[in-house]
Amino acid sequence: MWDSSETTLYSMMIFLFMETILEMYLTRRQICVYKQCKTVPRELQHVMNNDTFEKARVYGLDKAHYGMFKMIVCDIVILQLELYFGFMAMVWTRSVEIAENIGLNPKSEIQVGCLFALILNIIGIFKEMPFKIYGTFVLEEKHGFNKQTAGFFVKDQIKAFVVAQALTIPVAAAFIYIVQIGGQYFFIWLWAFVAVVSLVLITIYPVYIAPIFDKFRPLEDGELKKSIHDLASSVKFPLGQLFVVEGSKRSAHSNAYFTGLFGVKRIVLFDTLLVNKGLPADDPSLAESDKGKGCKNEEVLAVLAHELGHWKLGHVAKNIVIMQLQMFLIFLAFSKLFTYGPLYEAVGLPAGEKPILIGFMVIVMYVLAPYNTMISLAMTIMSRRFEYQADGFAQDLGYADELGNALIKLQLDNLGFPVYDWMYSAWNHSHPTVLQRLERLKSLNKEGNKSKTQ
């Protein structure tokens, strides 16, 4: 019979394996949709030609096959081997040795823990890099979305690594320290610390961190800028700044978002969202392939009306509250489980050795995996509901038709495939499909017109 540590190890491995098999099954269902669905849906035949539909179908099929391959390599082979052979314990042991060699205190869990986090992050980069390179320079390049040069990509990865370490290593040190001195109710202090750090990062990210990676420029004065300010004023949105981010240097995909928790907020538009990237049609920097792409002013306003709906309906605040509640429950579970010796022995550590960081990682990533899966599904369902509500908000402002047109344009420009298997979509998509959203907008329009005639 297995002892407690073996039972713990094999239970974690079996659940993670079964979860990956489920995700592969759902992906396989979607691959069948890509292979079988070869005609444009009736609802899109007036705007989507067969050539664009075929490009979207092949793009989706390539991404799905790539996703299947990555799941097999990362989630079935590498993850299972790491668990079975005690990868985390090996890294911890090596961290202790390196700490001693470079003059750190090998008996200080904070110093060894910070080194452990750094080494783990470096190893993670090497594991992930082949997939990033393939995804960017093969998959996205093949379908015309990659805009990064090799030099830009390398600089981007270096900057991301440096910023990540500057943030995670101090947090890891504070995390260990709080657990060590926090007493029986350390999880409350831990939760308060992480809550403050999260809110600070949300506040400073758009101002100090995002500009490290992308160039932001103020939206030029003109009709669009005035219309956005008028729209924000009409719903009492405290708009302070309006920027365009040059996302086209990274990708041809489009987006828009707003940031800021307190006081004035900023709206950020991807240049790929705007017609001709927001530039004059004769601008020499505008490539022929970018001319004519993007949304008209009214459609951009519709997209922003949807985003403002998330703010006005309290979706942002609700997500923050839910996130904080989730963190509290996770820290509470951690406080109850982290002294359980077999957890550490299961991942290869000798009896009696219980590093705090490893305990937290094992509990959050593996022990709580079933709980995380259920919460993730619940959050996906809630997110889809929020998206419908935000669409309804835009419709109430009179942007139903423009939002429908914008959704279609973004679908076409991003080569989004419009048809999805219902099980795959329910599991993976935080947003309803474009066909579902168009149908919902149509029904909202009918209900609105009916109420006006009564």
Catalytic positions? 307
Rg (alpha carbons) of the chain, rounded to whole number: 25
What does the alpha-carbon distance between residue 160 and residue 323 come to, in Å, rounded to a whole number?
24
Q: Which of 448, 329, 332, 314 lies closest to 382 in space, CA to CA?
A: 314
What does the alpha-carbon distance between residue 338 and residue 355 come to, in Å, rounded to a whole number?
9
Chain Cα centroid distance, residue 110? 30
Cross-strand partners of 259: 266
Three-state secondary structure along 75-121?
A: HHHHHHHHHHHCHHHHHHHHHHHHHHHCCCCCCCHHHHHHHHHHHHH
Q: Is the dihedral of CA 172, 173, 179, 185 positive or negative?
A: negative
Contact by Cβ (8 Å): 305, 279: no
Q: Which residue has the tokens 């329910």?
A: 426
| Token pair recorded at residue 36 | 């079988």
Contact by Cβ (8 Å): 277, 286: yes
